[in-house]
Structures are given as C-alpha cells and as structure tokens.
Amino acid sequence: MTSVVVEPAPTRVAGGRLADDARALRVVWKRELIRFGRNRLRIVTALVQPVLFLFILGTGLSPILTAGGGFSFRTFMFPGVVAMTVLFTSIFSAISIVWDREFGFLREMLVAPVHRWSLVLGKCLGGATVATIQGAIMLALAGAVGVPYSPPMLAAMVGEMALTAFALTAFGVLVASRMAQVESFQVVTQFFVLPMFFLSGAVFPLSHLPTWLGVLAKVDPLTYAVDPLRRAVFAHVRLPPALAHTLDPGVTWAGWRLPVGLELAMVAAAALAMLLVAVGQFSRPD
C-alpha cells in the first residue's frame, strides 16, 4: 500500500512586507473614520466654539474694527475660524492614543508584526481626514459671512486645510506618544494650542503689531497655515485696497511678503519633521 505524503501548506509570517504595512495603515485610518462617524455628538460640539467665535465675537468686533468700511469683520475671521476648527479637531484626535494606552489596546497594536511608522502614519492620516471633514463643514457657512461660494476658492481651502490638519495631527500624536494619562495630555496641549491659535492672526490682523508680538506671530507655525487660507478668501472678496492691506498684510520677513507656496512648504516640512519624531518615539521601548 502506497502511503501519501501531504506537504504542509506554505506559511508566511506577517510583517516585513510593504503590503502588510499598507494594510495596517488602512486599518488605523479607517478606525478613525468609524469612530468619528459613530460619534455624532462630537461632530456637533466641535462646531459650537467656532460658530460662537464667528457670529458672536465677529459681530461684536465688526462695528469697531471696520467702522465705515462697509466690511464685516466676520468675513475677516472666517479663515481663522476654519483654521480653529481644524486645529482643535486635529490636536484632540490624538487623545485616543492615550485612551488606547490606558486600556491596553495600544500595546496590542504595537506588538503587531508591522513597522511602527505605518501605525503612526495611519493615525495621522485618520486624524487629518477627520479634521478636514470638520473644517469642510464650516465652509458651508461661508455665504452667511459674506464669503462667496467659489469652487476654486473652496478647493484651495480644502487642500490647505488637509495639509494643516496633517501637521497638527502629527504634533498631537507626538505629544501623546509619551503621555500616560488623559489629563496630562489635555494640560500640555492647552498650553500649546491656545497660544498657537491667538498668535496666528486668526482673530486679529498681523499689521501694525508691537515688535514683540509680531516676532511671536512669525515664530508660531500656525501663522503660516492661517495666512494661505485668508489669502484664498480675500482673493474672492471685494473691499477697498487700503482696508485689504490692513486686514490681509500677509507674513513678511524684512519687508518681503512670503508667497503662499513657501508658506505651505514650511507647513509640510514641519509636518514631516513631527511625523518622523513621533515615529521615533513610538519605536522606543516603553
């Protein structure tokens, strides 16, 4: 009787292949979108503060700051409020890393046979996607504050929001990489987030600032994300040249106004730097 020898099926240990890293990246990215879609209360509450800034603060300051100009200060604030929405959504999307660490899920992710960069990049892309969607929802209010619904303008703003959201999410992931408690993460991020927002020119023009405040505004990386958004809006809004120069002076170095391309390149460079540092932090043993 002839015996039949059955060869075992070939096996392959997961990890080490680009396909495995791409699958891990996609899973982490999709997880962020699922969590965002299931939490409708988060979507609504994240819009409350920007709407308050836009319609209450903007309306209150408009008679003072644009008196006689026939221009609503809410139009000026609109790009800053959009940036504000992206800022807070991006930063606090990283808080889930701290929660995952507390409940042990993060450890399960880190022992997966994939490279750490795929997990970090998936988290950054997921948070950036959520923040961009949240910011795009704010664009629906453009007509209510005197901003036209121009397809080129809206497309440019969505692209700029996506880049800004990725950079800010990478910053949030970097901060969360070594945080063990949610409370610590909230304290540290608030220490950075509020100064970044107020120094970026989101709620006041960067023209005629005191020297010390102008220097701080130029050091703030968010300034180079808010200015392209405002320039996209002001390119489609009609107002007197003198008022336009006052409200939209741009970011200048020694009298030279930085072009939008350079500003966005700086944001992209900052995003890449923070992403690399975050990957390095997650690659270190606990």
Identify the pLDDT of residue 269: 96
133 band by pLDDT with thresholds 50, 70 and 90: very high
* Residue type at 239 in one-letter notation: L
- In the predicted structure, residue 18 carries a pLDDT above the cut 60: yes
Lowest mean pLDDT segment, chosen from 54-58, 123-127, 220-224? 54-58
In this predicted structure, what is the pLDDT of residue 231?
Answer: 94
How far apart CA 120 and CA 113 sit, in angstroms, is 14
pLDDT in tens, 152-189: 999 999 999 999 999 999 998 888 887 777 778 888 88
Closest to 168 measured CA to CA, from 79, 92, 65: 92
- What pTM value is reported for the model? 0.88
DSSP string, 29-61: HHHHHHHHHH-HHHHHHHHHHHHHIIIIIHHHH
Rounded Cα gap, residues 84 and 135, in angstroms? 9
Q: What's the pLDDT band for 114 if we cut at 50, 70, 90?
A: confident
User: What phi and psi values does residue 221 have, to the nearest 5 degrees?
Assistant: -65, -25
Tens-digit pLDDT profile for residues 44-102: 777 888 888 888 888 887 777 665 556 788 888 999 999 999 998 998 888 888 887 77
* Cα(220)–Cα(230) distance, integer angstroms: 16
Give the separation between CA 148 and CA 145, rounded to whole angstroms.
Answer: 9
Pairing mode of beta strands 252-253, 256-257: antiparallel
Distance between CA atoms of residues 157 and 82, nearest Å? 9
Provide the token pair at 188: 């540290």
Q: What is the mean pLDDT of the chain?
A: 85
